Each structure stands twice: as C-alpha cells, then as structure tokens.
A and B are shown apart, each in its own frame.
Chain A
Amino acid sequence: MDSDLSSQDRKDLDKFIKFFALKTVQIIVQARLGEKISTCSSSSPTGSDWFNLAIKDIPEVTHESKKALAGQLPGIGRSMCVEISLKTSEGDSMELETWCLEMNEKCDKDIKVSYTVYNRLSLLLKSLLAITRVTPAYKLSRKQGHDYVILYRIYFGDVQLTGLGEGFQSVRVGVVGTPIGTITLSCAYRTNLALMSSRQFERTGPIMGIIIDHFVERPFTNMAHMHPCSYRTPGEDEGGTYAGIEDSQEVCTTSFSTSPPSQLYSSRLSYQTPALGTVDLCHPTAFTAGAHPHQMVVPGKEGGVPQVPAQPNHGTAAEHCRIPSCPNGQSPQPAQPTSCSSEVKTVFCDALETTFTRKVGAFVNKATTQVTTTSLDLPFAAFTPRANDLEVNDPMVHPPPSPAPSSPLQGSLHSNSSSHSGGQPQDDFVMVDFKPAFSKDDLLPMDLGTFYREFQNPPQLASLSIDVSAQSMAEDLDSLPEKLAIYEKNIDEFDAFVDTLQ
C-alpha cells in the first residue's frame, strides 16, 4: 500500500495528519474556553496558517498535544482523543464529550495528497468549527466560571466512552480518505447532564484534590495535570517559556498547482521543549497496550493532592487541563507560571467577594422588622411610607446640611413609645410626621409613627412569660373545670356568635 505512495507524498501526508491533529485539538479546546472566538481573514497567505484557516495556536495546548502524540501520529488502532469534562467547585466532575480522531484501513489510493487531501482536511476543520458550537457542552462552557469549570484531556490510544453515561449520542464531523487510511473525526457527547456524585468517579479522585487547591493561593503550574490555558500573545511571553508559533511550526503548504505536481514549501522544524518551571510532568513510558491512559502525576509538595500510582500508559501524557473562564474577555495575565492561579483567583475570589458584599442603600437604618400595615385595614395602607424611610420617599424632605436639632416633629415620634428601635439618632435626617392619606383618626388614638413604633416591640404575651411557665400542669388542669363552667353558662352567647358567622 505504501509502495504506491511516493516518499514525498508520504512525507507530506504525515505532515498534514500531524498538523491536522494539532489544529483539531486547538479548535476543540478554544471552543470550550467560554468565549467567542474571532480570527481575521487574510488575502495574502502568510505561510503559517495551516489548511488556509486562521486558527490561533495556544502554546500550552500545542504543547499538550505534542506531548500526547509523543512523536506518533494518529493511525490505525491509534486514535487521538480529546475529552472535555466539567468540574464543579464542590469537586464533582462529569465527562461531557469525547472527540475522536481515528483512522481505519479503508484506503483511497487514487486521491491526490497535496491537493485533494489537503483541501478536504481544511473542509473537515471548518466542519469541526461549526459542530463544536452545536454540542451541549458549548453552552455549558460559555457559562463556566464560578460554579464550574471545563477541563480537557488529550490521550492517545483506545477511545473511552464509558464516562459519558448512558444514552450518549454520537455525531460524525466528517471523513477524509487518504492513501494510507480513512481519517474520521467524530464526537460522542453525554445527553444525561445530571451531575453524579463524586463517589462514582473514583478514577478521577485526584481531581478533587485540585479543587481544594482552587481556593488556596498556590500557583497552578505546580500541579502537573492543571495547566494554565490562557492564551497569551507572543509579546507577553516571559522568558520565552514557550516557543513562538513561527518557530514551532513548519511553514505549511500554501502553494498549489492547477497541474500536478505542486510545489511545496518546507522549512526546518524547530521545536523547543518548553520549560514549565516547577511542573513535574509525567512523561510517557513505553507503549503498553491496554493500559489505562488516565495518568496524572502530581508532585508531592502540592500537599493534599493524592499521588496517582504511575501506571504504564500508551505513551501519552494524560493531564487534565483547566480552561479558565474569561467572562469579560480579559487580556491574559502576563506572568505565565501564575497566570492560571491569578485568573482562577480572580474567578473564585470574585465569587467569594461578591457573597460578602452588601449594598446598603442610602438613608437606610439598620435592618428593622417588616411592619405591615395590612392590619390597619386602611385603604392604600401599603403605600403609606414607613417611618424609617419617610425621608426617602417624601420629596418634601431635604436632609439638612448640618446636624441640626432637627424639626420639632421628630421629637414627637420619639417621645411616646418607651421602646422603639427605629429611633436612632439620625442627625442628618429630619423625621417628618405627616398624616397619611385616608387615615382614620378614630381608629387609633395615636399617630401613625407612634403606632409603628409600639407595634414593632409589642409586649410579650402573658402566656409566654416566665411566670406562667412556672405554673404546673396540675394547676392548669385544676382550673379547667371552672373555665368549663363559665363557658357553659355563656353557651347561648357562643351559639349566637356562631350563627352570625354562618
């Protein structure tokens, strides 16, 4: 099969598949960042836009992808998968979808590699752009932030769909036939979005440790499985931690011919292993078929994050990477090692801060009990201004500039009741007593403000007072017969009363 393919075509095809895989991961992860993506069209080819599509390269994602690939290419029996999961602030996690780039044995030997395959891969990436906005995880990812975050994990090898729950759906993004096999891109997504308890996710136990650290001021790069995923433009790179786009990619094919063969550009491949500071990443060991690729190695100094026993894996580094939310489209943080932590801090601290912020309106006394006027049986009683916010509602009131002795009216409000909670010395405000509309003077022997004050602090009920509780049950029972005798004597009155009710 390979003998039919020229060596140049084979090299080109391998390159196409490699960069197709990298771009696929970029598209998927960027679609789950929680923000709208926008890139510009350019009429002049720059030589670095693979498949003639403007897809930014987030360096961390490229690094993770290349680490997962570990020099291999997706091939027959070697699928590349991107798993998207959701993690709540309480530590519950749930797999949402798994994107699979697979290859089967069905070959299309007559197809032109440099032209048809390239264009069809470009079309497939466009389809991927469209489909990533359609699956249920997209809406969830747009709303991520305080309550949950979206994580991604890249692994190589057998596709694992068991974490998607029952009844998961599958959508095929597309297929491209090549001389060495047919590339298929598909997505399996969860339909049952009920959050399961963390106990059902024992294999993702270590992730819970991550959440604990969310609220602790620790730089996230110390956790191997959590990588800052914010995208920084090359200018903000500190210390050249990651290789720039121009250095880390080959110049892509941009030149075509209307008659074969086409001329291709190629340049040196320069890829620098990025230094990740204190991150101790698990590195791939030898290929071992059937092993669980779900390995995360966490440095012990993280404290509280349990170690996962190092298992032989498929030669991929499987890390969970957190995609932080940028709700305001904030520009990325400048310091790479702390970018995620500061962003996360921003995300979660905002949540913490907002819970402690109380907006206190102007002219507000301390919180007082709600006084209802419904018992007054007055028309429009609900609209009568309360004594505490009289000065707010009444346009006639202007707070005096100086803490004046206030109007004589204020004294009247404070004088009558012995216990009133609202009578805080409000030097800046004038308590104005005025007759509410439609108030009936004969109903209450006092003015409204006094009424409110009195009723805010009613005397305790006699039956609830301590003296009464000292009375024994026996005494209660003894007094019952007397009470019954009185009621029997007045039975006619009671009957008449009941008749009036009917």
Chain B
Amino acid sequence: MNCRSEVLEVSVEGRQVEEAMLAVLHTILLHRSTGKFHYKKEGTYSIGTVGTQDVDCDFIDFTFVRVSSDELDRVIRKAVAEFKDALGNSGSDGMGQISLEFYQKKKSRWPFSDECIPWEVWSIKVNVVNLANEQERQICREKVGEKLGEKVINIVEVINRHDYLPKMPTQSEVDNVFDTSLKDVQPYLYKITYQITDSLGTSVSTTMRRLIKDTLAL
C-alpha cells in the first residue's frame, strides 16, 4: 500500500499563519474523524455523532468548519502555536512546512515495537510575507481568504476520490486505526510534525522535528 501524499502551499502574513493552518488542518480532520465507536456483541458496533461548528477567522476573510470537539481543537491549536513560534524564531525568511500524517499501527511480534505505517500525508507549505501598510494587509485578508477557499476545495477533491482508507477495525484493533483518547470524537490516528526551512531553502541541522502527538512514546 502506498502512502498518499498531498501538498498544499499558502502564502500568508505573519499574523495569519495560525488561522490559516487551523483552517486547513481542521478541514482535513473534519473528514478524517468519526463518532466514537461503541462495540456490542456479535461484532457489531454503533457510531456516535459528530457535531460541527463554524469558526470565523479574525485576520482572514474566511470561515471554516471544524469538528465540535474542544479537546481536539486544543491539540491542534497547540501544534499550530508551536509551529508559528518556530517560524517566528527562525529568522526573517519565514518558510516552513507543517505535516499532518494519518497512520496505522501494525503490531509486531516482541521484541520489535509496533510499526507506524502512514497511509495519508498532508503537507502544508507556508511562506510568510511581510506587508508594508494597512491597505496591503486588507488586500491580503481577502486574497488569503480566497486561497484558503481553493485549498478547501482541493482537500475535498482528494478526499472524495475515496482512495484507500483503513478497514474498520474490530474492537481489539481499534487503537491501531483510530485515536480513541478523545471523549467525543474519534479521528484516525494522526501525528503533526513541522519543519522550518532556513534561508538557504534546505533543512539543515537547525531543523526541528517535533512529534506533537505520538502514541508510541519511544
């Protein structure tokens, strides 16, 4: 099975980074989250209900839809905040990439640890621009809003190809496919990583690779 990889690129102003990333990540996670599974006897299970809510951006003329889960929102916001701080500390160039990777765990025999097999990776390349005056910022607000709209359409296009999705697991296997730690929704197992590109355009020793969510905890 090949891992599906999608790359999205956005150019935003510094204060728009957070909202732009939240918009894209939440849109993807909306499609990659289900309700909580409740397993019953005879191998049947029922699925809880996923609520949604609209989020207006303050610095972008854009509204996105996210899953109604404060826990999930907190995790994503924390990841995006770290990415934004790293971008800010990296220097004046402001280029980076944040990746959302969906993976499955494959149990290996002892003493080998479980394998994480990604089946879908979304990479969002961010280019931070500096604007000179308020008029440019206003134009940027609208332009970035339109761009994010295009990104949402791209995401929806990819998702609706109905390519590979992990099979629905049995009760014993559910933690290998889904993140069951949240109490209201159940996204597929995912991890968020980021890379900051330095002025040379390459990732060198200053690259930080932080695993924001990793259930392996090696």
Contacts and interface: CB of A to CB of B under 8 A. Distances in A.
Nearest to A127: B156
A279 interface: no
B19 to A, nearest CB: 14
A272 interface: no
Interface centre among B27, B46, B52, B63 (most CB of A within 10 A): B52
A36 B54 CA distance: 6
B109 interface: no
A45 B65 contact: no
B56 A41 contact: no
B31 interface: yes
A433 to B, nearest CB: 44
Interface size, A (range): 35 or more
Contact of A255 (B35, B40, B53, B149): B40
A49 B50 CA distance: 9
Interface centre among B36, B159, B162, B168 (most CB of A within 10 A): B162
A40 to B, nearest CB: 4
Contact of A138 (B40, B43, B63, B155): B63
Contacts of B52: 37-39, 53-54, 126, 129
A256 B65 contact: no
B49 A173 contact: no
Given A52-B50, A127-B156, A257 B44 contact: yes
Contacts of B169: 258
Contacts of B155: 130
Nearest to A54: B51
A36 B51 contact: no
B183 interface: yes
B89 interface: no
B119 interface: no
Contact of B44 (A53, A54, A120, A262): A262
Contacts of A43: 35-36, 38, 48, 183-184
Interface centre among B31, B35, B69 (most CB of A within 10 A): B35
Given A52-B35, A123-B160, A44 B48 contact: yes
Contacts of A131: 152-153, 156
Given A52-B34, A124-B160, A37 B53 contact: yes
Contacts of B185: 41
Given A123-B31, A123-B159, A130-B27, A41 B44 contact: no
B68 A36 contact: no
Interface in B25-80: 27, 30-31, 34-36, 38, 40, 42-54, 56, 61, 63-65, 67-69
Interface string A28-54: 000000001111111111100100111
B136 interface: no
Interface in A118-146: 120, 123-124, 126-127, 129-131, 133-135, 138-139, 142
Interface string A163-191: 00000000111111000000000000000
Contact of A53 (B40, B42, B50, B63): B50
Nearest to B27: A130
A263 interface: yes
A41 B48 contact: yes
A287 to B, nearest CB: 31
Contacts of B203: none
Contacts of A133: 54, 63-65, 152
A37 B53 CA distance: 6
Given A46-B49, A133-B152, A176-B162, 7 more contacts: A36-B54, A43-B183, A52-B35, A53-B49, A130-B156, A133-B63, A255-B46
21 contacts: A36-B53, A38-B51, A39-B51, A39-B53, A41-B51, A41-B185, A42-B51, A45-B48, A45-B49, A49-B49, A126-B30, A126-B52, A127-B31, A130-B27, A130-B65, A131-B153, A133-B63, A171-B153, A257-B43, A258-B44, A259-B43
